[in-house]
Amino acid sequence: MMNNTEYYTDKICIVTGANSGIGYALSEELLKRGGAIVYMAGRSQEKIAKAADQLSAYRDQIRPLIVDVTQQEQVQNGIEETAAEAGRLDLLFNNAGGVGGTIV
Ligand SMILES: NC(=O)c1ccc[n+]([C@@H]2O[C@H](COP(=O)([O-])OP(=O)(O)OC[C@H]3O[C@@H](n4cnc5c(N)ncnc54)[C@H](OP(=O)(O)O)[C@@H]3O)[C@@H](O)[C@H]2O)c1
């Protein structure tokens, strides 16, 4: 039977809101679990680059992705570009937002 770590092995993932908080912690956890490729998505190129730098031990598994989740076109393009580059998309973690914010 597959355990929780094995499930995430070699999965192609997008995590939105990945530069801080839960999205950052989730990205780190996925990276630790067996070679997942994590597209760390955020609306600020600078913040995503900084977050990726903090996880440099997993450099080869990280792909920065610039997406503001309130912009439908950016979301669609981000998903299509990821699937085209990686060949597929296994898991999308729709985390971006803020406590008390208005993003649904
Ligand atoms: N922490 C809690 O107790 C709690 C409880 C219930 C639900 N949640 C939900 O869990 C999620 C993460 O919470 P958190 O505590 O980790 O929040 P956080 O530390 O404030 O992080 C939010 C992340 O979302 C990003 N983000 C915000 N608006 C965005 C947008 N339009 N497009 C792309 N990225 C955007 C932020 O990027 P920027 O740096 O660019 O702003 C940041 O990386 C949120 O959806 C929140 O509503 C959290």
Residue 44 lies in a domain: yes
pLDDT band at 4 (very low <50, low <70, confident <90, very high): confident
Pocket test for ligand 1, best of 54, 95, 102 (most atoms within 8 A of CB): 95
pTM of the model: 0.94
| Mean of the per-residue pLDDT values of the chain | 92
Structure tokens at 32: 């630790």
52-103 pLDDT tens trace = 999 999 999 999 999 999 999 999 999 999 999 999 999 999 999 877 655 5
How many domains does the chain divide into?
Answer: 1
Using CA positions, which residue lies closest to atom 20 of ligand 1?
A: 98
Specify the CATH number for the domain of residue 43.
Answer: 3.40.50.720
Calculate how far, in angstroms, residue 20's C-alpha sits from the geometric centre of ligand 1: 8
Write down the pLDDT at residue 12: 96
Q: What average pLDDT does this structure show over 23-33? A: 95
CA-based nearest residue to 18, from 44, 74, 58, 37: 44
**66, 42 Cβ separation under 8 angstroms:** yes
The parent domain of residue 41 ranges over 4-93
